[in-house]
A and B are shown apart, each in its own frame.
Chain A
Amino acid sequence: MAKSRNHAEWNAPPPFKADEYVDSRIYSDEGIFEEELEKIFKKAWIPVCHESELAKAYDFRTVTIAREPVILVRGKDMQVRAFLNVCPHRGNMIERRPSGTFLDGSPSGNPRHMTCMFHAWQFDMKGRCVYISRQEEGYQDRLKKSQVGLRELKCEVYFGGFIWVCLDDDIGMDVKEWSAGALECLQPSLDEEPLEIFHYHKAIIPCNYKLWHDTNCEFYHDYLHYHNRITGFNDGYFARKNMGFDNGHINVGSFEVQYDNYEGFDSRAAISFPHLPPNHWYMIDMFPGVNFNLRGSSLRCDLMTPLGPDKVMIEFRGLGLKSDDEATRRHRIEHHNSIWGPFGRNLHEDLLAVTGQGVSMDAQAEPRKILHGRHENETIHDENGMRHFYEEWGRWMNRSPSDPTKPFSEPSKAESKSKEEALA
């Protein structure tokens, strides 16, 4: 008979294998968080923004990865390059605005240059130092401009025009290799023609970044969303597959959403993205904290920037096709924001849920076991997506997700085989 549990029972390991739950300290421990920045976020490819955010030569955009300020600039040659947004002189942040153009001069510098306002050192769009104020007077021949260029970062435009940056010069793979096939399901839809951003807002939520990523990786939580229950929850929905890829990435397979079932909503079929069957919905979750979500007519991208063990900034972007006419774009925006906007039906619910998780997993709270032990033949309510993510997380961190005080151990081949057989 079902019963409540006392303290010892509550703290006992669940009746699951170790890869079917995690210890909540991975969501709250300050030391683990700092380690994640060093071992994961400084080593991974991160899609920091979209190329349409810096469409013209001399446009720029500023972002942050693992506390490092980063600036993206589009050169005269139209190539996008990434640099640390840090002056090599006194360590000041060079550009303070979120975006803009260097075509105009600044109070301390000339047009077409990045200028550090502090002492007026100037850099060109390739990160070369081109001006040091009173250089000879102060440095004589001891310092040359060639010795104080900006720190350039690995940068690639890939997958529908997203700009990916990696802080690690030695990552040893491009974005295509990094994605390990996870992006392929949407590549024809996103690469057919140029995309354009139409939506941006951000949320700072008092929870660990992985809790948001978890929410994007599991659809069992559709019980949270009236909209998803009424427009989904049919045979097609329950047949959707979760698939894991190397490097911890995940796909959630598609099905046809019945938008008409939600009062006031209508079909997205007329303005579907290229090559996407009408009203279909694909999701890609990229390790360690990125989500691409294509619901027929509009693309959403979530980028997580961890700010602390219990604090994450999530940037939400919405994109359509650059070729959209005014009416089409308006419809895409309505479709996107009625569900995913800051006043939309679903996003608010998701953010409420992870906020509640953040409260219960406060750093000083007693560690808890957080379950992801559902097995449903790797279909939509199976929690294999999260298990896949945490296996990779354990590998990068060399910590066991179910007991982060212990080192990670690779699942044995026998275990993997028996798991596959059990599922079969």
Chain B
Amino acid sequence: MAEIKDRASAATAVREAVYKSCMYKDDMNWEKWLNLCDDDFSYAITAYSPEIQRNMTYLSGNREDMRTMMEMLPKHNSDHSPLKRHCSVYEVEVDEENKTATAVSSVLVYQTMLDGVNCHVDSGESKVFLVGRYCDKFRVNEDDVKFIEREVQLDTRRLDKGSHYPI
């Protein structure tokens, strides 16, 4: 792991962590994803609804909640169509003391159909599953950065069958 000696190297580490989080989740490697997160990590999927004019929270939990949820997946019936996250980090801000950082990223999630509808017809077809932003907070350590908060702010509210996977 690279030493984080200044705010510029912290910002680089933040960008790398955001992209790694996408790759690990794309690969459904939940353990590696959670290893990017600190013990006090919190996760939420939120959206603003112009229909009811309210901020909503579609899913929330801490690190342990996320781990439990992923461990329980084999007991549930899920749409196994894989999700791929296309992400661009728009903004990184590291605090003056180089202790914490925030990042805002655009995220587009594509779903490649597998068993969600009629696999004979649909499998292999990719479509946009949702559109949103990652709003992340990090703790900056001596040799890495750790997620302490991820809020996935969705624009998409028509989610059809939905998903058992975190975004």
Docked-complex contact A198 and B65, CB < 8 angstroms: no
Q: Taking A226-B75, A337-B57 as contacts, is the C-beta distance between A348 and B68 under 8 angstroms? A: no
Q: CB-CB contacts of A120-156 with B at 8 A, as 1s and 0s?
A: 0000000000000000000000000000000000000
A359 nearest in chain B by CB position: B118
Q: Does B99 contact A (CB under 8 A)?
A: no
B67 nearest in chain A by CB position: A264
Q: Which residues of A contact B78 (CB under 8 A)?
A: 348-349, 352
Docked-complex contact A342 and B162, CB < 8 angstroms: yes
Docked-complex contact A98 and B68, CB < 8 angstroms: no
Chain A interface main SS type: mixed
Number of interface residues of A (CB under 8 A): 41
Stretch at the interface among B48-56, B103-111, B141-149: B48-56
Give min CB distance, A163 to chain B, whole Å. 13
Q: Does A224 contact B (CB under 8 A)?
A: yes
Q: How far is the CA of A396 from the CA of B51 in the complex (A)?
A: 32
Q: Does A368 contact B (CB under 8 A)?
A: no
Docked-complex contact B49 and A348, CB < 8 angstroms: no
Q: Does A202 contact B (CB under 8 A)?
A: yes
Q: Does A203 contact B (CB under 8 A)?
A: yes
Q: Taking A343-B166, A345-B76, A355-B117 as contacts, is the C-beta distance between A199 and B56 under 8 angstroms? A: yes
Q: Taking A198-B56, A342-B58 as contacts, is the C-beta distance between A205 and B161 under 8 angstroms? A: yes
The contact sample of 24 A-B pairs, CB cut-off 8 A, is A53-B52, A99-B51, A100-B53, A201-B47, A201-B49, A201-B58, A201-B157, A203-B162, A226-B75, A227-B76, A263-B68, A317-B52, A337-B57, A337-B60, A343-B166, A343-B167, A344-B59, A348-B79, A352-B77, A352-B79, A352-B161, A353-B77, A355-B116, A355-B117
Interface residues, chain A, with chain B CB atoms under 8 Å away: 52-53, 61, 97-100, 197-206, 224, 226-227, 263-264, 317, 330, 333-334, 337-338, 341-345, 347-349, 351-353, 355, 359
